[in-house]
Structure 1
Amino acid sequence: MLGWVLLFSVGVRGYSDQTFRAAVYEHAPLPPNRTIVVTRQEALDYMRKNLEVYKTATEEAHGQNVDIIVFPEDGITYNGHTRKSVRPYLEYIPDPKQEQWNPCEVPDRYSNTEVQYTLSCLAKNNSLWIVANMGDYQPCQADDTVCPADGHYQFNTDVVYDSNGTLIAKYHKINLFFEFMFDPSTSKEAVSFETPFGTFGVFTCFDILFRNPVVVLMKEKEVSNIVFPTAWMDTPPFFAAIQFHSAVAAGFGINFLAANMHNPQYRFQGSGIYSPDGAVAYYYNNSVKGQEEGGKLLVSELKILRNNALSHNSPMYSSKKYNGTQAMGDGVFHADTFGDNFNYILLTESSGKARVCHNELCCKATYTSRDNFTEMFALGAFDGLHTKEGTFYIQVCTILRCKTLEKSSCGQGSRVSNTYFTQLALSGTFKTPYTFPEILLHGENVFDLAPSTTWSYNAGSMEAKNGFEQPLLSFSLFSRDYDNDLRLTSSCGNPKLTIFTQCLCLLSLLFSVLS
């Protein structure tokens, strides 16, 4: 069964004083041979197949008067390489802050830059901005005391070309996720760029969970738009791609352009164009029938935003601190939820109020279901350091469907539901304003998002006065407390990682190579 596609757009030509046209492309690359080190020509032959797809998508976007298009992480090179096997796919990318370069007009300035030439010409020939992800090869300077053993750096890199084909920005991914083939950014620089239709920040996949670059871009550079190449694996109940990315847009009050890789066999799917009011367009196709069927171009009109809404949302603060067992509510039980030990309380009546606490966080809910419960739903709370596949401090309030009728299943992330709610409200005593409202509904064997007209969010509180026309999977407030993060990096290969996490990294690499 193909996933659902929601797309709303208004026919306009290019950007005006109020709007611009945005596109994201979910790309389904075929995996190259990653078990051997290929030649540069063999690597180019593979990458050109993906770039031909990019060409078709860009030309289609041009035909729809698009101003900026975003392509996914690993869309040109694929993932799962070793450090040696990825080398022929990399190109030297100059620093656009140090020199101006248009690869389409001056292709011979640097050797082995065929990918950059192609991307630049696609931007120039179609008169639109392009954001793409590729690998950057940077030789070490003579005085570099921490140079990698092979004498150069390899970076997971986003490149930005303006509508003339000029390289405007490049961003080295700061927070790597099981990426042995790459080095984390040495500068740790959050990157933004200016367009005629607003200021944009750029970051990649796992970066979305960390203060740098996210909060740096929001507070210091005051960006109002994010371009987000990603290779995102769905991980419910809180990290399905369309669920979390739309929540970040709403929580920060920004436009968020998320382009994901399409490989449903390994849970890579879900792209979207999101605004402060919710999803404008998104694509969720969980079919594993033929990779070539999975590519999808989304195009939408967005309002031009001149600032983000971070300063307008002040969090609710708890007037009383709780120690994890005090004043939690009757019937509290625990369930593992993506590695975190949540406190839960069952919703037993078809309508009512519920409250549960964990550490300093208390969550309150009111709800009404259309019928008596035949499935298990619970209200959950967690306030603590998340340590599975990354280390970061979170506070979460959630109403979710348990996977089975066993309490222990409540954190396992159900993918099906038959329960309709006609009213929902959820609030929490969050410490920070970095709170993201998540709603995940059940479509026909796929995830769906709620129309923006059906719910509202303000300062740690979310409400759906009339419920939803589809069954509910989860209704959550996910908050990041950056100040309580441990001073650890989540990148694989870091000596501070636990043995358990290092094993996870190795298993992940083996899995991706075999896939």
Structure 2
Amino acid sequence: MTLSELRAVILAAWFTGIHFTLAEEGLFYTAAVYEHQVLLNPEPKVVVGRKAALQHMDRNLEVFEKQATSAARQGAQILVFPEDAIHGFNFSRVSIAPYLETVPDPGAVTWSPCADPDRFQNTQAAYLNILHHLTELQVFSQVLHRLSCMAQKNRLFLVANMPDCQPCNRSLNPLCPADGHYQFNTNVVFSDNGTIVARYHKQNLYFEAAFDTPPTCEYVTFTTPFAGRFGVFTCFDILFREPVVTLVKDMGIRQLVYPTAWMNQLPLLAAVQFQRSFSYSAGVTLLAANIRSAAMGMTGSGIFTPWDALYHHDTEAETGKLLVLRVPVLDPLLLGDAPERASLKLVPFSGFPKVNITEKTEFNAFQRGLYSGFCLKEDSSCNIQSTPFTSTMMYDKFTLVPLHGKEGNLTACDGSFCCHLLFQKTNSSPEEEIYALGAFDGLHVVHGTYYLEVCAVVRCTGLHQESCGGETEHAHTLMDFHLHAAFSTEHVFAGVLGSGMTLDRPDKSGWKNGRFYMSRRGMSSGLVTAVLYGRVYERDSE
């Protein structure tokens, strides 16, 4: 690290109220995330008073208190809570009003609600503009105060999600809502002395009628004394370029906090499945905290580095789960230029080749039979004729080709976008299972609009082609494979999911001759899904 870079980090930490003391203990820190079984308002569309809203939120905050204490006892230096975990969801713009507090901009003011609770007496004042007929107005920032004291008491950085109200003037701002204020889905970050050090308003809302999209996208970071810089984003943001890809690629952020309320959908977008893929492919540490709700299919949290993961996925137990893990610092400003730390400085979306590969592509190596056991392209015994078919997967119409026999060399195309697979089944499954290679190139338009290029090997849920693309968590078939395609985007998320929601990762992945590939051999659990999930951000508006 240069002297100027070190000064910049120290100054950034100082101005956020943090005393910068870098522990050189191998440049590691201890992170925690909590998957919370949120206690919901059973009638979120019904307007209640501020007192009732506080009583509701206090029940969730009491759980937060216990988990923060437990995390601190295990050495956690940063703790992330889920999206919507304090107040719940499915509110209207009016019914969320008594839950709102105004979170001041930490870039403009330095404030610890715990140390100075009376400094801002209007953090709930906008409530009057929304519901004139209610008289239970509390101008005290109760939720901010409690979270701030939680961070201070346990001496850890704390990330929480809450509803935020920001006043605006329609005569000066044509984007200002008709009622004269914005309502935001907001992440708030507190330092270990209780100071608010970051505030992020969610950019990509997911059917959230209570909230507004920010007038401009926010790129929010904060600095810690133990790990350097972190970026902040929320839930549905993970599928879009802004703000997270800009944080990673343009701003050099390699550590991210991620509150989410994610509903699982297999075979491609279960929570921990995509969290693992994002961390691996972007080359970042991801601290992901999800809601726990069996009725809504919500579970899946974890602490992910590009190499390892500690995660939780449980569709049955109705309890929360605290995860704590020691992880390496990835902030390039702290890693410096030391040769022994070079392996920690990853290039996002470049893949992870584990060996030096010659100019001949990895795929060509498979073709030449250098990987023993895989069939050659010209070997007719392992190229049984497969007829393409179409099936709906994740609401998109995929073109699929069935995997016949124990090994094969297949291609599936959606228009000019083609996916290529070499595979070999390495066990005799006790149950008959069928698999298919699928390709999709197009605009996804259900529950969000975004452009995809996807190659996926999926275990079908039944023994008929119509079942390919359905949801299953289990498989018996072990499979070695090499999957690749010529993507038009560099943003390809590679993922391997094993039976029982076992998160695997490719042995190798990367770009060769304009194609992105991944390979995996020796899986210990049956293959559920192997996917290269390409996001073509620039075509989202088509």
1:367 & 1:167 partners in 2: Cα distance? Answer: 52
Confirm whether residue 472 of structure 1 aligns to residue 527 of structure 2.
Answer: yes
Unaligned runs of 5+ in 1: 1-12, 319-328, 488-515
Deviation at 1:146, TM superposition (A): 2.8
Q: Which has the higher contact order (CA 8 A, sep 6+)?
A: 1
Deviation at 1:413, TM superposition (A): 2.5
Match for 1:345: what amino acid? V
Deviation at 1:336, TM superposition (A): 1.1
| Higher deviation after alignment, 362-371 or 161-170 | 362-371
Confirm whether residue 377 of structure 1 aligns to residue 435 of structure 2.
Answer: yes
Aligned equivalent of 1:448, options 499, 502, 506: 502
Confirm whether residue 132 of structure 1 aligns to residue 169 of structure 2.
Answer: no
Confirm whether residue 209 of structure 1 aligns to residue 267 of structure 2.
Answer: no
Confirm whether residue 102 of structure 1 aligns to residue 102 of structure 2.
Answer: no
1:63 paired residue number: 73
Partner SS, residue 243 of structure 2 = helix
2:47 & 2:447 partners in 1: Cα distance? Answer: 29
1:306 paired residue number: 331
Aligned equivalent of 2:204, options 169, 175, 190: 175
Confirm whether residue 433 of structure 1 aligns to residue 490 of structure 2.
Answer: yes
Contact in 2 for aligned 1:103/1:116 (Cα 8 Å): yes
Deviation at 1:330, TM superposition (A): 4.7
| CA deviation profile, 1:484-511 (whole Å, cap 9, x unmatched) | 2217xxxxxxxxxxxxxxxxxxxxxxxx
TM-score (norm 2): 0.80
2:294 paired residue number: 264
2:194 & 2:79 partners in 1: Cα distance? Answer: 13
2:313 & 2:351 partners in 1: Cα distance? Answer: 33
Calculate the aligned-residue CA RMSD, in Å.
2.2
Contact in 2 for aligned 1:432/1:480 (Cα 8 Å): yes
2:460 & 2:254 partners in 1: Cα distance? Answer: 36
Q: How does 1:133-148 map to 2 (within 5 A)?
A: 133-141=161-169, 143-148=172-177
2:422 paired residue number: 366
Q: 1:330 to 1:405 in 2, by over 3 A?
A: closer
Partner SS, residue 95 of structure 2 = helix
Deviation at 1:81, TM superposition (A): 0.9
Unaligned runs of 5+ in 2: 1-21, 121-138, 333-344, 353-360, 364-384
Match for 1:350: what amino acid? K
1:350 & 1:17 partners in 2: Cα distance? Answer: 46
1:417 & 1:458 partners in 2: Cα distance? Answer: 27
2:408 & 2:306 partners in 1: Cα distance? Answer: 30
Partner SS, residue 69 of structure 1 = strand
1:425 & 1:205 partners in 2: Cα distance? Answer: 31
Contact in 1 for aligned 2:386/2:402 (Cα 8 Å): no
Confirm whether residue 297 of structure 1 aligns to residue 349 of structure 2.
Answer: no
Deviation at 1:411, TM superposition (A): 1.5
Partner SS, residue 212 of structure 1 = coil
1:342 paired residue number: 398
1:306 & 1:375 partners in 2: Cα distance? Answer: 44
Aligned equivalent of 2:459, options 373, 394, 401: 401
Deviation at 1:298, TM superposition (A): 0.1
Rg larger for: 2
Partner SS, residue 458 of structure 1 = strand
Match for 1:95: what amino acid? D
2:23 & 2:94 partners in 1: Cα distance? Answer: 43
Contact in 1 for aligned 2:281/2:348 (Cα 8 Å): no
TM-score (norm 1): 0.84
2:82 paired residue number: 72
| Count of aligned positions | 453
Q: 1:418 to 1:59 in 2, by over 3 A?
A: same
Contact in 2 for aligned 1:218/1:310 (Cα 8 Å): no
| CA deviation profile, 1:229-256 (whole Å, cap 9, x unmatched) | 0000001111100100110000000000
Match for 1:384: what amino acid? G
1:52 paired residue number: 62
Partner SS, residue 221 of structure 2 = strand
Deviation at 1:96, TM superposition (A): 0.6
